[in-house]
Copies of this chain bind each other. A is one copy, B any other.
Amino acid sequence: MSNKTSRRRFLKTGIVAGTGLAASNAVAEGDPLITQKQPWNQDLGSGVDERPYGMPSAFEVDVKRRSVPWLTADPVSSINFTPLHELDGIITPNGLCFERHHGGVAEYDPASHRLMINGLVDKELVFTMEDIMRFPRENRTYFLECAANSGMEWRGSQLNGCQFTHGMIHNVMYTGVPLRLLLEEAGIKSNGKWLLAEGADASGMTRSIPMEKALDDCLVAFKMNGESLRPEQGYPLRLVVPGWEGNMWVKWLRRIEVGDQPWHHREETSKYTDLLKDGKARRFTWVMDAKSVITNPSPQAPILHSKGPTILSGVAWSGRGTIPRVDVTIDGGKNWNTARMSGPSFDKSMHRFYYEFNWNGSDLLVQSRAHDSTGYVQPTKDELRFIRGKNSIYHNNGIQTWHINTKGVAENVEIS
């Protein structure tokens, strides 16, 4: 009996438990587990010296970041996406955190990297990495979402998979020095009201940040999920701007200039502004509003069993606080149910939710709706379009709908 046949047998003969918990299977006569004649007890595996840095199982080869070749002109100024449908909990593993670059991944030797603080300060400073690590550091978990996440959805459902519709986000525990401490070391002049954060990559990434945010919760981070930043996430140093659009989290951070007004650079004028229907553009729309998505089932992750106990799983987040509640519907919004949250609830961090129900095997229209700690409720895409039109690329936090057919296959759809 091949593994495939074996699996099919169990799935077909599955007995749905009366408790409503899940399917399970009575032991069949002659099952290999009963007779204990599996080959897996016969051979030694590989030793501990073979993996100085470990990798996922070969069976997980499809769990990967994916890019969309037609989306941008060149892969050095493009995006790949986090496979949200393959993950659980709230931590994104470093190897699967989406990437977005404007000039490719810069690689720097931390021994020669420097961070400069100049402009309206009492004392201009240049820090080595070792200097920075002599300041008191903190450990905090934040989501980072690209402003363009779900951007394709403004003009209708387009991409079939939450990896592509919602995968420009990751959630990581950072270790870094509060930016406030470095600014205080330099001494901010009384007219210093804005910062320019500058990256050392080929795109010369720069963004203006108001001083109030810089002094509140920004970090100059050097570690993510315990280890050094990954090259594609700004190794050795990145700015963490909690709850605000990802483009401001400047990677390969090399300079912070203090000024008395914003700089109006390229990335905050021609890009990362929101074009409204009347042709005017909103600027400095930094905060990522409350949002959620059902990751399982979704177009890349169908339901694999027939009717019976079924689990919906998803993630929710808000740039304004925590997510105390997520609603889930399986009938396109006729009835809403409160999801079960599981895992840590950190400020401006991803939250994990589940909804367990007994599927009757018919079509489903599944949606999730996040509530954040300010009382804000995630809107529909149409509610957003009513106010902002369809010209925008950024800040689409509308409710996502998946249609699930009777075979468990999911598709990106819109309902009104």
Contact = CB atoms under 8 A, between A and B. Distances in A.
Contacts of A387: none
A88 B139 contact: yes
Nearest to A138: B342
A131 B23 contact: yes
Contacts of A309: 134
Interface in A241-257: 252, 254-255
A194 interface: no
A409 interface: no
A13 B370 CA distance: 52
Contacts of A217: none
B31 A304 contact: no
A76 interface: yes
A219 to B, nearest CB: 11
Given A45-B104, A46-B104, A123-B26, A91 B52 contact: no
Contact of A95 (B19, B25, B53): B53
Contacts of A335: none
A51 B311 CA distance: 31
Count chain B CB atoms within 10 A of each CB in A31, A63, A88, A186 and give the residue with the most: A88
Nearest to A110: B59
B48 A79 contact: yes
Interface in A214-246: 223, 225-228, 230-232, 235-236
A89 interface: yes
A125 B48 contact: no
Interface string A155-197: 0000000000000000001110000010011100000000000
B342 A137 contact: yes
Give the one of A89, A135, A228, A352 with max B CB within 10 A: A89
Contact of A136 (B6, B21, B123): B21
3 nearest CB pairs, A to B: A45-B104, A47-B75, A139-B343
23 contacts: A7-B111, A17-B185, A26-B126, A27-B118, A40-B201, A45-B104, A47-B104, A48-B65, A48-B232, A49-B69, A51-B99, A52-B66, A53-B96, A54-B65, A54-B94, A54-B97, A54-B230, A58-B107, A59-B109, A88-B223, A134-B311, A139-B342, A140-B343
